[in-house]
């Protein structure tokens, strides 16, 4: 294996640059846009393959939501982790898996900005189409009506922590990284990943909510050159929903 040029390394996340400065032998990653497509598209396909049998056999709502939601993560995050190990230097170095105190601070700031912008988008959407909900919100309501506190608690953790980590690995990790490796301007990378992130949720009425969140997450990735800040920002954006879900869980006194 041979070390890459500094000019190439500048397109990579800070973890790649740190590893190079530490004298580690690195390879120029051979994964790219097609791997981002495989991860995101594979998630959609695996979701259908898992959810359809659960619907057919009338699985309990908790099983449908948790199993149907978690198994597809094997593609969304699993493929980036696998392919960066197979064709690069591993997920930590190639995708920017680092969390510094500065990442926490920037993540909170970008997360709050995302909440404000998403709130404005939600207000505009309400004025246009009336009241609306998200797929996760519908799933949460179904769980509250028929499931135990344990299932609701697990779903809340999935919303607050799991989804931000997995989705950031795919979008601000692999997709963002693949575009930057090809030399795409960072501004366009932020826009492209935000649009992809918005469309990925398959919820047209929430585009004005998801798009500004995607932009702030992309800006966090660009600013800090790693995934720590966008993951924290994503958690900040999802935390209110998780808290409200737990407050409404059976046996919890408001």
Q: Which of 247, 44, 71, 76 is nearest to 167 (CA)?
A: 76
Q: Which of 225, 119, 246 is nearest to 173 (CA)?
A: 225
Could you tell me if residue 135 is inside a domain? Answer: yes
- What is the domain range of residue 26? 6-247
- Look up residue 206 and give its two tokens: 């929430």
Could you tell me if residue 253 is inside a domain? Answer: no
Could you tell me if residue 77 is inside a domain? Answer: yes
Q: Calculate the alpha carbon distances from 83 to 29, 38, 64, 248 in Å.
A: 10, 10, 29, 40
Q: Which of 71, 81, 65, 79 is nearest to 49 (CA)?
A: 71
> Which long-range contacts link 23-26 to residues 24+ away (Cβ below 8 Å)?
25/1, 26/1, 26/89, 26/93
> What does the pLDDT read at residue 222?
97
> Roughly how many angstroms between the first and final C-alpha of the chain, as a whole number?
59
Cα–Cα dist 169/35, whole Å: 12
Could you tell me if residue 252 is inside a domain? Answer: no
Could you tell me if residue 134 is inside a domain? Answer: yes
Could you tell me if residue 202 is inside a domain? Answer: yes
Q: Are 94 and 31 in contact (CB under 8 A)?
A: yes
Q: List per-residue pLDDT tens for the chain, 254 residues long.
A: 344 444 477 889 999 999 999 999 999 999 999 999 999 999 999 999 998 898 888 888 888 888 888 899 999 999 999 999 999 999 999 999 999 999 999 999 999 999 999 999 999 999 998 888 887 778 778 888 877 788 888 889 999 999 999 999 999 999 999 999 999 999 999 999 999 999 999 899 999 999 999 999 999 999 999 999 999 999 999 999 899 888 876 655 44
> What does the pLDDT read at residue 221?
98
Q: How many domains does the chain have?
A: 1
Could you tell me if residue 1 is inside a domain? Answer: no
Q: Are 135 and 205 in contact (CB under 8 A)?
A: no
């Amino acid at each position: 294996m041979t070390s890459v040029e500094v000019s190439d390394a500048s397109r990579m996340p800070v973890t790649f640059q740190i590893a190079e400065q530490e004298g580690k032998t690195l390879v120029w990653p051979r994964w790219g846009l097609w791997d981002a497509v495989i991860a995101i598209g594979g998630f959609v396909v695996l979701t259908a393959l898992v959810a359809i049998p659960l619907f057919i056999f009338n699985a309990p709502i908790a099983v449908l939501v948790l199993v149907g939601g978690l198994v597809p993560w094997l593609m969304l995050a699993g493929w980036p982790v696998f392919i960066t190990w197979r064709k690069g230097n591993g997920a930590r170095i190639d995708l920017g898996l680092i969390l510094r105190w500065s990442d926490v601070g920037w993540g909170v700031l970008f997360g709050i900005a995302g909440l404000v912008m998403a709130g404005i988008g939600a207000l505009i959407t309400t004025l246009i189409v009336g009241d609306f909900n998200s797929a996760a919100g519908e799933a949460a309501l179904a769980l509250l009506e028929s499931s135990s506190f344990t299932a609701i608690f697990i779903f809340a953790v999935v919303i607050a922590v799991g989804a931000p980590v997995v989705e950031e690995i795919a979008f601000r990790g692999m997709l963002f990284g693949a575009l930057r490796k090809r030399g795409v301007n960072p501004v366009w990378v932020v826009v492209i990943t935000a649009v992809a992130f918005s469309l990925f949720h398959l919820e047209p009425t929430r585009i004005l909510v998801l798009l500004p969140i995607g932009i702030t997450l992309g800006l966090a990735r660009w600013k800090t050159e790693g995934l720590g800040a966008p993951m924290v920002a994503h958690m900040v954006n999802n935390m209110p929903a998780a808290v409200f879900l737990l407050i409404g869980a059976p046996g919890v006194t408001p």
